[in-house]
Structure 1
Amino acid sequence: MFENFTLAHIPTLFVATATTFGGLMPFFNAQSAIEEFGLPKRIAISKEAQSVMILSSARITALGACMFAFYFSGKFSEVDTVMVIMGAYVGSVDAYVCWKEEVTGKAIFRGLSGAVIAAWGWFGLTAGV
């Protein structure tokens, strides 16, 4: 299972774990998940926003599960591809929404985190390219 493991896989496994299991948080407490994401309380207390958060989190959990499936199948280039797309697109959208909601610190954090994740995949660091 881990015969091809290298230290360079730690960030990838961290991202896969955070997205897979972090995406489950809204199922148990959507308001808390929205607040943890960094959005304002006025959004977190909205039942409509909580439903949307649960739906969106299911999709993020699916991406994390795909990363694990590819990783444990030894398809490291595919994992890097998911990281590029997820980091660039999801990270940018996360940053944009946080910025729009005037949560500047979270916007910067999410934008930079997404950029690092995307760069990791772009340079093929999981695959060792």
Structure 2
Amino acid sequence: MDYLLTSFKGVGVTFGILAVQTGVHALWRPLSFAENFGLPLNPKLSAQNRPRGEKDHAAKSVDFGPAYTTMMGARQAGTGVIILIFASCGKWMEIATVLSVVGLLCATTDAYNLWKGGKNGHARFHALPGLAIAAHALAVLYRNGGL
């Protein structure tokens, strides 16, 4: 029995379910999602505390942080739905491909930005599981001829 693939099936389905859950959270409660993620949004950003170089007309515009977070949530939920559809069709190599990219690219980008924001604990929380999932996915691809 291929224990690597069997364990990956559990990881893949779990990731899909959690991706849908976190995506829906970002859609319905963007401020709460951003705070839990580690990069809270400030819905009352004003011209006085705006980062240098931003145009004055931005002070009159809407704060797009929550809107951006909901767009990110839709993509997160979409990724989870795709993974769950692939799982229901037995497309484990496809899931391994998606999770190797997500684990390497997305998790390390998240971790880097969290680290830059001084959120070292949150950064580790994203980097370590992301890299572990990517390594597991890459091992499945390697063992099953996908690499």
TM range (shorter): 0.7 to 0.9
Runs of 5+ in structure 1 lacking a partner? none
What is the alpha-carbon root mean square deviation over aligned residues?
2.1
Q: In structure 2, what is the Cα distance between the partners aligned to 1:115 and 1:8?
A: 14
Q: 1:112 aligns with which of 128, 135, 147?
A: 128
Richer in helix (by share): 1
User: How far 1:31 moved relative to its partner?
Assistant: 0.7
Aligned identity (percent) is: 26
Query: If you compute each CA radius of gyration, which structure gives the higher value, 1 or 2?
Result: 2
| Residue aligning to 2:138 | 122
Q: 2:113 aligns with which of 97, 110, 118?
A: 97
| SS of equivalent residue, structure 1 residue 24 | helix
Aligned residues: 122
1:1-129 to 2 correspondences below 5 Å: 6-40=6-40, 43-45=41-43, 47-124=63-140, 129=144
1:100-127 superposed Cα distances (whole Å, 9 cap, x missing partner):
11101001110111101111210117xx
TM-score (norm 2): 0.75
User: How far 1:44 moved relative to its partner?
Assistant: 4.9
